[in-house]
Structure 1
Amino acid sequence: MAKEVADATDMKSSRRAKGNERGRRFSTRLEFLLTSALDGYINSQFNAGRLDADKYKKVVDAWHQKGRPKVIGFRYDLETQLDLVFLHVQDFRFYGDRAGIPAAISGILEMMRVNARAMRIRTFCQPDSVVAKQLLDSQSLLNLLGSAEQRQIQLAEIVQFFKIVLEREHTVHRAEEMRGAYQSTTTKTLQRTQDNHGGAPATDAATCRGR
């Protein structure tokens, strides 16, 4: 489903204004889903005794040095959560077909850190293809974390909603193009008709007859 979304997107500048507001909604929903999934995942690794106290303290100290408020559990912002997981690549348990490949795990986490920085900028001036890539990367992350089926369903709902909105916009865009083409053809036809009749001579001729 996410691949279909990626295939359906484009970067036409004429659609960016509409895409900004939609991108803001999608990015907010996606960010909340991912932070919730990571909070649950880190908690599970903590309960399993895999969280390194020194590495965790490093993240907490950096958080407080920035003057940020205390959080409940591991409810940091998305980028900080990913930083914490990244520090535990050798300690945490991962899932899916890339679980045994440290380089692949690091690659997914790094891609998501880039996405997290983009989502943190609240203008969300991103083309559809960028949002689609974020959805694809998010799918890879949830698989890596072994997220519960409910999380996977929530992501699928976001993907499906995004796909529907894209299809509607494509339909509207095609209709506008067809309308513009029709109006252009009509204008050209009227112009040719006037040219064939010599513009306004008919009125001049009537005036001459009146004289």
Structure 2
Amino acid sequence: MSKNLRFALPVILFVVMIVFLGFGLFSDPRERDSMALGKPLPPFELPDLYDSNRIYTPQDLTGDVTILNVWGVWCVTCAVELPYLTALREQYGVKFVGLYYDQDLDPDFGTKTLARVRNEVTSMLNRLGNPYQYQIFDVVRDYSLDLGVTGAPEHFLIDRKGHIRLHHIGDINERVWTHKIKPVYDQLIAENNSAVINE
């Protein structure tokens, strides 16, 4: 190895490391792209939170524009966004479906009963607003993992064919709705209305 290369190699490695760390330092982890973006919803068969006999599949999330909201009563940010989501449903007819999971049903976290989960959910929604048409119960969080969910709340904007068109990590507030979600939502609603007219 030449003398110049021995001196240059550590400098090159240092510059590469600085660039790599710089990207990590100045990137927003909430803006990462979902691997599910642009793809159909992964397959699932999951019960309704309140009626274990009612089983949902991806087919239930087709035919309309829907926002699938991953949430739980243990999530403080989820509680903060509930009134705003409820206002979007009431004022603009936005269709929200909850994908609910509870950490305390996992034996590693606790021993909460399903009845207690249902009572806690009902109590929170009665206090803060209920934006959901229905709640899919992600019993052991497998489906959240299939979607690439890292926490809650997370939101998946789904078109009428059941494809994920937008993924948002964090709460939906007025700023996020106006600048990030509403433009895509309005486009999908226009596509949906056009498809209905042409059918």
TM-score range (shorter-chain normalised) is: under 0.3
Max radius of gyration: which structure? 1
Q: Larger relative CO (CA 8 A, sep 6+): 1 or 2?
A: 1
Question: If each structure's helix is expressed as a fraction of its own residues, which one has the higher value?
Answer: 1
Question: If each structure's strand is expressed as a fraction of its own residues, which one has the higher value?
Answer: 2
So what's the TM-score if we normalise by structure 2? 0.26
